Amino acid sequence: MKFSVRFEGVTGASAVLLKNLCRQPLTSVSRDAIRPNIIVDEEAFSGERAIGDKAVIPAAVAYDVLDTYVEFTLSVYAPDGSAAKADDGTLLEGVAADKEYVISLTSYGYFSLRYEATDSSNRTQTLNYAINVADDVPPQIEIDGTVPSSARLDQTVTLPSATVTDNMPAGCVLYVCYVAPDGTYSETVDFQMRCTQEGVYRVKYMAMDDYGNTTVLVYDIEVN
Ligand SMILES: [Ca+2]
Ligand SMILES: [Ca+2]
């Protein structure tokens, strides 16, 4: 390696100390202790995607100051953890990362990308990214029985339980709450509600998934 530097207007005794070159400290240590550098266009992975979209994974670059040999690979995993396939049929596990790939986002959740660059001293740099395929499907609620339409004053009503299903069931929650005739809001405990006022109680079964998609079923119970 050869380069020249020229300074102007310098007077007196001066010296130039070169300490660092492309993140590689210049020391008397002869071994290569610095991991390779990876350059990825991160913008390519930003934002939320819709199911069925195609994602372009641009070609990335890895370099190492002291090493012309860098093994540079990419692995892409679908939300279920399996290795993703590019549209051209390539199984994206440990493939060359300096190539562009296109994948079809056919499942909800996070596709994880892992870049790994290793130099010949076996020093590895890893970068992880994710492509987020937003869930836009609200959960479904199935009531396990029938919500009564009337109750007596001072009765404790046991509401039927409910089953929630969703395309991404992990993280789904179900709330069962009720609004008394005077507007007081309460959450049921073990599906039980106490009817202490005359009038119409409004019962709400509300299911929400991890992405905030919500389904609400509303029932009225007349208390007298
Ligand atoms: Ca190195
Ligand atoms: Ca959902």
Domain boundaries, the chain: 37-133, 140-223
**134 CA to middle of ligand 2, Å?**
9
pLDDT tens digit sequence for 70-88 = 999 999 999 999 999 999 9
Ligand with minimal distance to 167 CA: 2
**34 CA to middle of ligand 1, Å?**
4
Where is pLDDT greater, at 5 or 99? 99
In our burial notation (b when 16+ CB lie closer than 10 A, e otherwise), range 172-199 reads beeebebbbeeeeeeebeebebbbeeee
- For residue 61, give the 3-state DSSP assignment: strand
Where is pLDDT greater, at 77 or 24? 77
- For residue 42, give the 3-state DSSP assignment: helix
Query: Quick one: pLDDT band at residue 129, thresholds 50, 70, 90?
Result: very high
The pair phi, psi for residue 74, each rounded to 5°, is -130, 140
**120 CA to middle of ligand 1, Å?**
7
pLDDT tens digit sequence for 41-72 = 999 999 999 999 999 999 999 999 888 889 99
Where is pLDDT greater, at 213 or 29? 213
Nearest CA-CA partner of 41 in 26, 54, 29, 58: 58
C-alpha–C-alpha distance, residues 83 and 78, integer Å: 6
Q: Which amino acid is at 167?
A: N
Q: Do domains 37-133 and 140-223 have the same CATH topology?
A: yes
Ligand with minimal distance to 133 CA: 2
Give whole-number Cα distances, 200 to 176, 186, 190, 193, 203, in Å: 16, 14, 21, 13, 10
pTM: 0.70
**137 CA to middle of ligand 2, Å?**
4
**11 CA to middle of ligand 2, Å?**
71
Q: In 10 A of CB 132, how many CB atoms?
A: 17
Pairing relationship of beta strands 124-133 and 109-119 according to DSSP bridges: antiparallel
Domain spanning 140-223 has what CATH number? 2.60.40.10
Architecture of domain 37-133: Sandwich (2.60)
